Amino acid sequence: MSTSTPLPPKAWSVLIVSTLAFTVCFMVWMMFGVIGIPLKKTLGLNATEFGLLTATPVLTGSLIRVPLGIWTDKYGGRIVMAVLMAATIPAIWMMSYATQYWQFLVIGLFVGLAGGSFSVGTPYVARWFPKNRQGMAMGVYGAGNSGSAVNKFVAPALLVAFGWTAVPQVYAAVMLGTLLIFWFGSASDPSHLVTSKASFGEQLKALKDPKVLKYCQYYSIVFGGYVALALWMVQYYVGEYGLDIRYAALLAACFSLPGGVLRAIGGVLSDKFGAHSVTWWVMWVSWVCLFLLSYPQTDFTILTVNGPQTFHIGLNVYAFTALMFILGIAWAFGKASVFKYISDDYPQNIGAISGIVGLAGGLGGFVLPILFGVLMDLTGIRSSAFMLLYGVVWVSLIWMYWTEVRRTEVMGAAAPEAPFSRSFAR
């Protein structure tokens, strides 16, 4: 189907309201990244406990992604998304009444259902567009990740003006209003439903596919790492550079905002240059950024002919923010390119496969903040979080080289970066 083929009348409307819904869901999903700062002080939490608090919503939002993707294939994205959003509203409101650590953890599990919206909207919007424009559609929808940045703008203002309890109350009202907008602006198309009679267990057998496992690995860093850092960065700025929470949130948004909004551009690039070329470059840019971010603030003394001389090595707040900005852009492109792999390789099973890959990415977003806290408690080095991510990127690069790059070289084709470079040259 060519790009000139007319789109269904409701295609753009579905994409717009679905992206709005996902943005709000992601904003809610990342709520603890800001309100967790005063809660950490009030509840007397260490770094590991804080990591668990921020990651708890991510757990349920990840685990539910596979069934949500399958239900979307079977029942349609409109009804599944509406029910999901409605189910989160009571839990969001109840968050403002929690007073103990275990209460925040339990309620956070229910609030986390909002994170499953990604596996609903991805196949839902993709099927309204032709194959050669699905990367763009999924990229635009995925730009709803910018809800993380919206949270960093809205939550600190509410927190400072009215206290942290105002944040979940306002978010519950916003979710309700968005649900109404989504319902009246979206549509259903029976032809988009998948009539497969495969059971839930049978569809999960896709985990035995090496390609699916590889895409899970890629997504665990470009999405899981994005979620983890979006939750972790506000308190990182506060602790590392001694910033006020409002300025810390603003600078943290320099990572979150491009990491969400520019996903649409990643979808367009993936349509044009291919999923592999974009992902390959994303991993290398990530590798460089994380290498620099990993270096801790260091003072060392050298004995010179003029006596001891002390030097300092470390990123100041401006260099740190610049690297985070570049990393956010890279991961925005990577999130789109991984799902372009899926639409190319599994066009009849986008819901189930995107649910599985989304689950892997979400679990990365759950595990990583906890590991960040554990490493900081054990080593006392805040940049140990970036050291861990650096190692995960290494795994992805090695896996990609042996399964894609090396195979291409053996077949006598050009190196994987060549088509990408030649395309830019044209």
pLDDT for residue 421: 41
Owning domain of residue 178: 11-425
Number of structural domains (the chain) is 1
Compute the average pLDDT of residues 61-69: 83
Dihedral, 54, 28, 261, 192 alpha carbons, nearest 10: 120
Angle between the N-to-C axes of helices 117-126 and 77-94, in degrees from 0 to 180, rounded to the nearest 10: 160
* 281 token code pair: 């470059």
Q: 241 in a domain, yes or no?
A: yes
pLDDT for residue 1: 38
Q: What is the mean pLDDT of the chain?
A: 85
Which position has the higher pLDDT, 326 or 274?
326
CB–CB of 219/360 below 8 Å?
yes
pLDDT for residue 5: 62
Angle between the N-to-C axes of helices 65-75 and 77-94, in degrees from 0 to 180, rounded to the nearest 10: 140
Closest CA to 189 of 277, 331, 72: 72
Q: 1 in a domain, yes or no?
A: no
Cα-based distances in Å from 221 to 37, 140, 171, 216, 287: 24, 20, 28, 9, 11
The DSSP string of 310-370 is: EEEE---HHHHHHHHHHHHHHHHHHHHHHHHHHHHH-TT-HHHHHHHHHHHHHHHHHHHHH
Compute the average pLDDT of residues 175-184: 95
Q: 50 in a domain, yes or no?
A: yes
The amino acid at residue 8 is P
Residue 306: how many other CB atoms lie within 10 Å? 6
Q: 3 in a domain, yes or no?
A: no
The answer to whether residue 422 scores a pLDDT higher than 80 is: no
CB–CB of 146/332 below 8 Å?
no
pLDDT for residue 268: 81
Q: 218 in a domain, yes or no?
A: yes
Task: Match 């896709």 to its residue by tokens.
Answer: 206
Q: 257 in a domain, yes or no?
A: yes
Q: 6 in a domain, yes or no?
A: no
Length of the chain: 426
- pTM of the prediction? 0.79
Bridge partners for 309 per DSSP: 302
Compute the average pLDDT of residues 38-60: 91
Q: 224 in a domain, yes or no?
A: yes
Which position has the higher pLDDT, 320 or 403?
320
Cα-based distances in Å from 43 to 36, 191, 232, 268: 10, 52, 18, 45
CATH of the domain at 57: 1.20.1250.20
Residue 6 pLDDT class (50, 70, 90 cuts): low
Residues 6 or more apart whose Cβ sits within 8 Å of residue 327: 255, 259, 285, 286, 289, 290, 293
State CA 201 to chain mean position distance.
26
Q: What is the DSSP letter of 7?
A: P
Burial of residue 125, with CB atoms counted within 10 A of its CB: 0-12 exposed, 13-18 middle, 19 or more buried: buried
Percent of the chain with pLDDT over 70: 89
Compute the average pLDDT of residues 54-62: 89
